[in-house]
């Protein structure tokens, strides 16, 4: 397909409106944030050049790396849980379930729930006395305590599982629909096991859709803010403080635009290689 694409630099004219929106809405603010990272700000309108001071301060700051580590750990755990469950449900939905479009509508519900609603709902659900889950667990002598690190993490992971697994299911289900039925017939005639069908037919065919889902889930899990804030306010202590909350705290409560800028730049430098690898993998899939 891509071999047929015509070389025409005039196509930039078609990209221009989008490019302008992105440049004004994204590139300019990003440059401003990068600019701040080399400066010290006073009273909101006076700036002094400080060079790389913020960077060396951050890179030697154990708390910063712990926040990054927590964010990465959260991302890895949610991705593993959601891709495991999501693939499983998509497979069942495709092979075993009648009226799939009805379930697609149900699956879409949590995706379209405002984040503040999700956070509020899950914090209240875990209330040990009157919460739906917390109250139920109390019956079995299990007391939910959001002031414990373990319960705070379990709650946020369960909440994210509820909130986002559907995205993986919907995308993977779409992937399943695009597999030619002949593949399954051939496998049936050969008497292939369910696992063999999954491993050698479904998984390779779902490669691209899994990459897309992976990219979206990675992006959103790394920038999670409102939901954990609604549940634990980042606590106990800083046990559920992730990078976005750290950024917002630094920029709006401590009014430290320089440090916030430097954190942003370090974060982006870490994410660019991952994005590049995913992008390359996706484009390679397109060519074939």
Partner 1 sequence: MAASQNSASRPRVSKSVLLYSAFLLVPLYWLVVLSLQPNKASKSALSLLPSPLSLENFAFVFGSPDWVAGYVNAVTYVALNVVITLLVALPAAYAFARFRFLGSEQALFFSLLFRLMPPAIIMIPVVQMFSAAGLIDTHLAVALAHCLFTVPVSIWILEGFVSAVPIELEETAAIDGHSPAAIFFRILLPQIRPGLFVTAFFCFIFSWVELILANALTTVDAKPIGVIMKVVASPVGSVHIGIASAVSVLMLIPGAALAWALRRHLARGFSMGRVT
Q: Please list every residue from 43 through 62 that binds partner 1, using CB under 8 A.
A: none
Transcribe 96-108 into DSSP letters: H-SSHHHHHHHHH
Q: How far is C-alpha 125 from the chain's CA centre?
A: 23
SS3 state of residue 123: helix
Q: Which stretch binds partner 1 (CB under 8 A): 50-58, 72-80, 98-106, 147-155?
A: 98-106
Site string for partner 1, 217-236 (x = CB under 8 A): -xx--xx-xx---xxxx---
Q: Which stretch binds partner 1 (CB under 8 A): 50-58, 60-68, 103-111, 149-157?
A: 103-111
Q: Which residue from 61, 148, 283, 284 is in contact with partner 1, where contact means CB under 8 A?
A: 283
Q: Which stretch binds partner 1 (CB under 8 A): 5-13, 47-55, 61-69, 147-155?
A: 5-13
Looking at residues 168 to 227 of the shown chain, list those that interact with partner 1 (rule: CB under 8 A): 170-171, 173-181, 184-185, 206, 208-209, 212, 215-216, 218-219, 222-223, 225-226
Q: By CB under 8 A, how many residues form the interface with partner 1?
A: 119
Backbone angles phi, psi at 79, to 5 degrees: -65, -45
By CB under 8 A, residue 284 contacts partner 1: no
Q: Which stretch binds partner 1 (CB under 8 A): 21-29, 48-56, 62-70, 148-156?
A: 21-29
Looking at residues 110 to 149 of the shown chain, list those that interact with partner 1 (rule: CB under 8 A): 110-117, 120-125, 129-132, 135-136
By CB under 8 A, residue 19 contacts partner 1: yes
* Minimum distance, C-beta of residue 216 to partner 1, in the bound complex (Å): 8
* Minimum distance, C-beta of residue 105 to partner 1, in the bound complex (Å): 4
What is the C-alpha to C-alpha distance for residues 263 and 31, in angstroms, rounded to an integer? 14
* CA distances for 67 relative to 62, 98, 120, 164, 245, angstroms: 9, 45, 23, 22, 10
Beta-carbon neighbour count of residue 10 at 10 Å?
A: 6
By CB under 8 A, residue 87 contacts partner 1: no
Q: Of 78 and 166, which has the nearer Cβ to partner 1?
A: 166
Backbone angles phi, psi at 225, to 5 degrees: -145, -60
Transcribe 29-96 into DSSP letters: HHHHHHHHTTEEEETTTEEEE-TTHHHHHHHT-HHHHHHHHHHHHHHHHHHHHHHHHHHHHHHHHHHH
* Minimum distance, C-beta of residue 88 to partner 1, in the bound complex (Å): 7
By CB under 8 A, residue 83 contacts partner 1: no
CB 194 within 8 A of CB 94: no
């Amino acid at each position: 397909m891509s071999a047929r694409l015509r070389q025409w630099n005039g196509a930039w004219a078609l990209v221009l409106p989008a490019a302008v929106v992105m440049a004004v809405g994204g590139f300019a603010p990003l440059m401003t944030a990068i600019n701040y990272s080399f400066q010290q700000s006073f009273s909101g309108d006076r700036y002094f050049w400080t060079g790389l001071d913020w960077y060396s301060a951050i890179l030697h700051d154990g708390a910063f790396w712990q926040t990054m580590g927590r964010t990465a750990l959260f991302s890895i755990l949610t991705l593993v849980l959601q891709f495991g469950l999501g693939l499983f449900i998509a497979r069942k939905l495709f092979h075993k379930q009648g009226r799939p479009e009805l379930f697609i509508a149900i699956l879409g519900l949590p995706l379209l729930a405002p984040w503040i609603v999700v956070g509020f709902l899950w914090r209240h659900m875990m209330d040990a006395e009157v919460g739906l889950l917390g109250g139920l667990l109390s019956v079995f002598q299990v007391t939910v305590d959001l002031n414990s690190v373990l319960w705070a993490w379990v709650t946020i992971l369960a909440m994210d599982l509820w909130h986002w697994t559907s995205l993986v299911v919907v995308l993977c289900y779409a992937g399943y629909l695009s597999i030619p039925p002949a593949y399954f017939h051939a496998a049936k005639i050969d008497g292939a096991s369910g696992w063999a069908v999954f491993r050698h037919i479904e998984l390779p065919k779902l490669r691209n859709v899994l990459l897309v889902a992976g990219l979206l889930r990675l992006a959103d899990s790394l920038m999670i803010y409102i939901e954990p804030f609604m549940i634990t306010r980042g606590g106990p202590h800083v046990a559920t403080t992730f990078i976005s909350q750290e950024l917002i705290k630094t920029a709006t409560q401590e009014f430290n635009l320089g440090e916030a800028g430097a954190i942003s730049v370090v974060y982006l430098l870490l994410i660019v290689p991952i994005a590049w690898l995913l992008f390359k993998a996706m484009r390679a899939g397109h060519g074939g």
